């Protein structure tokens, strides 16, 4: 387990697919002990996330579930539910992305668990907030991308609505949930009491989109929406003589240095480009100017020119290029690993470092119910009780 700021915090993880596991992965990377409680059939992402040597260890599952222990429990059985309740009584945090009706049927609610564990931080990641009319409607990432305006924003640039090629809403909501949990743990240090947290995907992503693109509607109910600089069709990697480069010259100092780099120093006096506000108002002309200039030299030549003038710019990467970037190997984000059952693999390390935490030593993603005996023993079950639970299939035996 990684030593970190959350060392000693025990998290009972009742989440699946991406939104919840991205939350608990962040907590694991910060040192928390994560007990991933799965259904007997396992997290859907085990099979949904691509092929692997074993049928239940997809690449996506492996990367989202590092540092976690797995125990598979049948919550439809009395013995299985008793296991969950005992684990919840001993946990600091419980995280779930099950829908409200399902949680109520199983008795996994803040009201039910608070008397058993008043210090528990109970976090529900939901599709929609419980105060609104959409509450308890089913939600996946693409549903939220479509509802929240994210797909529409892409549509303004591409000509038709489309989803991002990432489960972006899941990722962002998961990160928001992890921050909310650590804030609640901080509050508990002061008050001694836990609390319930609701993290709705729709509201989280609506907030994300509107802070960026409410634009003039902030002041004028009939005004335009959408930041024209960000939504400009030319706001993209810029073609060079032999590839692409990413450039962002926003301040006056950066823009004036850029004009010098492209051999057009006189543009700093051009009323269309001589200030941040002017360039914002004339963003179409500014982006066209950039695109025309950068086609004349190679990516490597521009990179040298821009670095010399401290203009923010880096070469464009494909996904394959990202895997070959020496920087990512030097900092330990990418590394060669050997999974106990899946064999050699390229693993992902912790992107955030803590000076007091030491190296990232997270265990690799677990097989289904791999840690059942260890988790039950730590929860206080005797060897005979553990054998009985595994024999009854209320808890799935380790593979």
- pLDDT band at 360; cut points 50, 70, 90: confident
- Which residue ranges does the chain devote to CATH 3.40.50.10540? 10-208+330-392
* DSSP state letter for 247: E
Q: What is the pLDDT of residue 371?
A: 98
pLDDT for 361: 86
335-341 contact pairs (CB < 8 A, 24+): 337/364, 339/57, 339/62, 339/364, 339/365, 340/364, 341/53, 341/54, 341/57, 341/367
Pairing status of strand 68-72 against strand 33-38: parallel
Comma-separated ranges of CATH 3.30.1540.10 domains in the chain: 238-315
pLDDT digits (tens, 9 = 90+) for 137-187: 999 999 999 999 999 999 999 999 999 999 999 999 999 999 999 999 999
List the one residue out of 151, 159, 156, 292 whose CA is nearest residue 228: 156
| Pairing label, strands 334-339, 343-348 | antiparallel
62 and 27 in contact (C-beta within 8 Å)? no
Distance CA 280, CA 273 (A): 9
Q: For residues 255 and 207, give the distance between their C-alpha atoms in angstroms, rounded to a whole number.
A: 31
The pLDDT value recorded for residue 249 is 96
| CATH code at 10-208+330-392 | 3.40.50.10540
- Token pair, residue 62, equals 């492996």
Mean pLDDT, range 188-217, rounded to an integer: 97
Task: State in words which class domain 238-315 has.
Answer: alpha beta
100 has a pLDDT exceeding 70: yes
pLDDT, tens digit, for every residue of 362-378?
Answer: 999 999 999 999 999 99
Report the residue count for the chain: 399
Of the candidates 389, 345, 390, the one whose C-alpha atom is nearest the C-alpha of residue 365 is 345
161 and 154 Cβ atoms separated by less than 8 Å: yes
Tokens standing for residue 221: 């109910």
pLDDT tens profile 234-244? 999 999 999 99
What whole-number percentage of the chain has pLDDT above 70? Answer: 99
Quick one: average pLDDT of 255-278?
98
Q: Is the pLDDT of residue 2 over 70?
A: no
Q: How far is CA 337 from the centre of its chain?
A: 22
Instruction: Return the bridge partners of 347, or none.
Output: 335
Query: pLDDT at position 243, please?
Result: 95
Determine the Cα–Cα distance for residues 359 and 361; give it in Å rounded to an integer: 6
Cβ atoms < 10 Å from Cβ of 214? 15
Query: DSSP secondary-structure letter at 43?
Result: -
Give residue 263's pLDDT. 97
From the CA atom positions of the chain, what is the Rg in Å? 25
If you average pLDDT over every residue of the chain, what do you get? 96
CA–CA distance, 364 with 113 (Å, rounded to integer): 31
What does the H/E/C string look like for 136-171? CCCCCHHHHHHHCCHHHHHHHHHCCCCCCCCCHHHH
CA distance 163 to 147: 11
Q: Where are the alpha helices (DSSP H) in 15-149?
A: 19-29, 45-48, 59-64, 78-90, 100-106, 110-113, 141-147
Q: CA-CA distance, 41 to 90, in Å (whole number)?
A: 25
């Amino acid at each position: 387990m990684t030593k970190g700021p959350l060392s000693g915090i025990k998290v009972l993880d009742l989440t699946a697919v991406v939104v919840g596991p991205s939350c608990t992965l962040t907590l694991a990377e910060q040192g928390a002990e994560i007990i991933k409680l799965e259904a007997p059939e396992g997290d859907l992402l085990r099979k949904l996330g691509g092929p692997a040597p074993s049928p239940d260890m997809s690449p996506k599952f492996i990367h989202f579930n590092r540092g976690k222990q797995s125990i598979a429990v049948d919550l439809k059985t009395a013995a299985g539910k008793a296991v969950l309740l005992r684990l919840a009584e001993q946990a600091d945090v419980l995280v779930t992305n099950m829908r409200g009706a399902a949680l109520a049927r199983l008795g996994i609610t803040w009201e039910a668990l608070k008397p058993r564990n008043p210090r528990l931080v109970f976090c529900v990641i939901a599709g929609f907030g419980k105060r609104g009319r959409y509450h308890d409607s089913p939600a996946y990432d693409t549903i939220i991308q479509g509802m929240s305006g994210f797909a529409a924003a892409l549509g303004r640039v591409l000509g038709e609505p489309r989803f991002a090629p990432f489960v972006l809403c899941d990722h962002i909501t998961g990160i928001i949930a992890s921050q909310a949990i650590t804030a609640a743990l901080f509050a508990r240090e002061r008050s001694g009491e836990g609390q319930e947290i609701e993290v709705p995907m729709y509201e989280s992503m609506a907030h994300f989109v509107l802070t960026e693109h409410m634009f003039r509607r902030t002041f004028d109910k009939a005004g335009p929406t959408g930041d024209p600089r960000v939504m400009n069709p030319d706001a993209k990697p810029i073609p060079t003589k032999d590839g692409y480069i990413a450039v962002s010259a926003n301040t006056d100092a950066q823009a004036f240095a850029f004009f010098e780099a492209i051999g057009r120093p006189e543009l700093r006096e051009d009323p269309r480009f001589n200030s941040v506000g002017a360039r914002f108002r004339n963003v179409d002309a500014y982006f066209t100017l950039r695109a025309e200039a950068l086609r004349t030299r190679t990516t490597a030549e521009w990179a040298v020119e821009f670095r010399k003038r401290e203009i923010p710019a880096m070469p464009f990467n494909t996904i394959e290029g990202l895997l070959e970037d020496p920087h990512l190997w030097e900092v330990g984000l990418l590394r060669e690993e050997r999974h106990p059952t899946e064999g050699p693999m390229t693993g992902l390390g912790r992107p955030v470092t803590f000076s007091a935490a030491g190296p990232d030593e997270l265990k690799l993603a677990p097989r289904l119910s791999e840690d059942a005996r260890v988790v039950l023993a730590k929860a206080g079950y005797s060897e005979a009780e553990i054998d009985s639970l595994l024999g009854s299939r209320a808890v799935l035996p380790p593979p």
